[in-house]
Chains A and B, each alone.
Chain A
Amino acid sequence: MAKELWKGNEAIAEAAIKAGCRYFFGYPITPQNEIPEYMSLRLPQEGGVFLQAESEVAAINMVYGGAGSGARVMTSSSSPGISLKAEGISYIAGAELPCVIVNIVRGGPGLGGIQPAQSDYYQATKGGGHGDYRLIVIAPSSVQEAVDLTQEAFDMADQYRIPVMIMGDGMIGQMMEPVEFKPVAKRVLPEKTWATTGTGGKRKPNVINSLFIDPQECENHNIKLFKKYDEITANETRVENYNVEGAEIVFVAYGTTARIVKNAINTLAKEGIKAGMIRPITLWPFPTAAVEAAADQASVKAFLTVEMSMGQMIDDVKIAANGKKPVHFYGRTGGMIPTPAAIVEHAKKVLGGAK
């Protein structure tokens, strides 16, 4: 297929349909409205259902019902809406249901703003809802990558029975880029024998549930979940290493910020400064090993984490660097976007201090 120009949000929606998603439940919020709008037109054409819920709370619970019934289901929202979905996400994680949740992040806290941000990193990777649970969190940095990973997200969700979050920002959602819809690598997916489909008199009832009133059973359930999370960490961690070999300074950045950082790296190279970047593609599982390896690399003097937030992912970078190399931070937030020039300047300051 030839490349076509697609707007990020619509491309994500079409990718979901191509992945077999037939049910979408959502509530309007900027800057992700093109996703539900696109779904409302396209899903009925594919024999699916789009439903505008009364709230994000209802939407995520419709996802719970649809996913528990064995379907490929998606919802999308932006930061304030994801806060409302947190309850449902915790239940979905607890009941081990597969689904895909898109967060086109905007500035916060509170009503915040509608411009791009990355200030929901903690919410996505450290909880958001209650209890010990994890989501697979994927952070594409181009529309093409958003398309590829959205398709794969449905398979990952089904394989591990886990909610997968696509974490974009307003830039990914709103910009237009050339895209090619490609088939994803086939995975062996388990049958959904646990889904509620009516017993048909042929089997014992299936129950979709996250309640374990006996504390020992509840602990056992948590231990089972964490075995699964370990397996996901081993199999699904994704990262891009860019010019890390021989770098003096290693940036860590994800999503659209990583593209701006690449610009800064090229500028630094012209000035004779060797800089590289670790770009986490999965925010959870976080590519700890890539940071560890860079921290052990003799050429590396320091890390510089760049985020569109006041500094959230930096915690994971520090944990991975484990004090071996200093970890610095540069960020803009509230919808402000870091410029390559400001990043270059900050990197020079860091290196100056490191000498």
Chain B
Amino acid sequence: MAVVFDKTKGLTDKPFHYCPGCTHGIIHRLVAEVLEELDLVDNAIGVAPVGCAVFCYDYFNCDMHEAAHGRAPAVASGVKRVHPDKTVFTYQGDGDLASIGAAEIIHSAMRGEKFTTIFVNNAIYGMTGGQMAPTTLVGQKATTAPLGRDENHAGMPLRVSEMLATIPKAVFVERVSVHDVKHINQAKKAIKKAFQTQMEGKGFSIVEVLSTCPTNWGKTPVESLKWLQENMMPYFPLGNFRTPEEEK
């Protein structure tokens, strides 16, 4: 019998623990497929966040570190300085990267650390039960913003890709989404480019992936995909913000 579909070797056989309809799983697969296609699975060392993706150290089929909340970029810096020839990546949520770990990501980018960050922006703290994130949209309800985020009280959501794109050594910065097949394919291309940028030793690379959290958004998986398009994409526009070629 002909094999028509095979799971990527970049993932272990461990079943994901994610909620039904959560797009963390799709993003895992894209990262793992890219590692396999670039023949980097055996060479890779990943760093897991604290957030819903904490157990990704059991899912990615490569050496992994589990970091403290927000510290993955510092851990990855330490790993990459010891193993400059290895492929190092962090996988982080928006609370992890844009709130508690804001300093770590900015300074890793500033130093041009040669690792790749996969930044999963779902505009909420998924793991702890739906509290407000720095990326929560104005008016969006969260368990710590029961009436919706008020910009006069909590400020405006942070646009991480735009901010990091101002840093000279953040050489690859792109925001993508995984709400439909077309965008999933584009997301994979960006992730591949990010890892290639790293392996060419050009500097820091990051792909921000807009992602859903049906559980804490209080929506069905299908409604969530629609909500992402209609609410997140206008505030967090997709696109490439930096490529190494621009440097020339």
Which residues on A are within 8 Å of B, measured CB to CB?
23, 25, 49, 51, 53-55, 57-59, 61-71, 73, 87-88, 91, 95, 196-202, 205-211
Contacts and interface: CB of A to CB of B under 8 A. Distances in A.
17 contacts: A61-B68, A62-B74, A62-B77, A64-B71, A64-B78, A68-B78, A88-B71, A196-B63, A196-B64, A197-B63, A198-B63, A198-B83, A200-B42, A207-B63, A208-B64, A211-B54, A211-B66
Contacts of B44: 198
B3 interface: no
Nearest to B12: A205
B82 interface: yes
Contacts of B52: none
Given A58-B107, A95-B66, A211-B66, 14 more contacts: A23-B81, A51-B81, A54-B103, A59-B74, A65-B77, A69-B83, A87-B68, A197-B83, A201-B42, A205-B61, A205-B62, A205-B64, A206-B64, A208-B66
Given A207-B63, A211-B66, A58 B103 contact: yes
A239 to B, nearest CB: 35
Interface of B: 12, 41-45, 47, 54, 57-58, 60-68, 71, 74-83, 86-87, 103-104, 106-107, 111
A197 B80 CA distance: 10
Contacts of A65: 47, 65, 74-82
B66 A209 contact: yes
Among A91, A95, A205, residue most surrounded by chain B Cβ atoms (within 10 Å): A205
Nearest to B61: A205
A188 B30 CA distance: 44
A198 B74 CA distance: 19
Contacts of B61: 205
A353 B41 CA distance: 72
A63 B78 contact: yes
B38 to A, nearest CB: 14
A55 B103 contact: yes
Contacts of A49: 81-82
Contacts of B65: 64-65, 68, 196, 207-209
B70 to A, nearest CB: 9
Given A54-B104, A58-B74, A58-B107, A66 B62 contact: no
Contacts of B75: 61-62, 64-65, 68
Contacts of B104: 54, 57-58, 61
Contacts of A198: 42-45, 62-63, 83, 86-87
Contacts of B76: 65
A23 B42 contact: no
Contact of A207 (B41, B43, B64, B111): B64
Contacts of B86: 197-198
Contact of B45 (A61, A63, A69): A69
Among A61, A206, A208, residue most surrounded by chain B Cβ atoms (within 10 Å): A61
Nearest to A95: B66
A54 B104 CA distance: 7
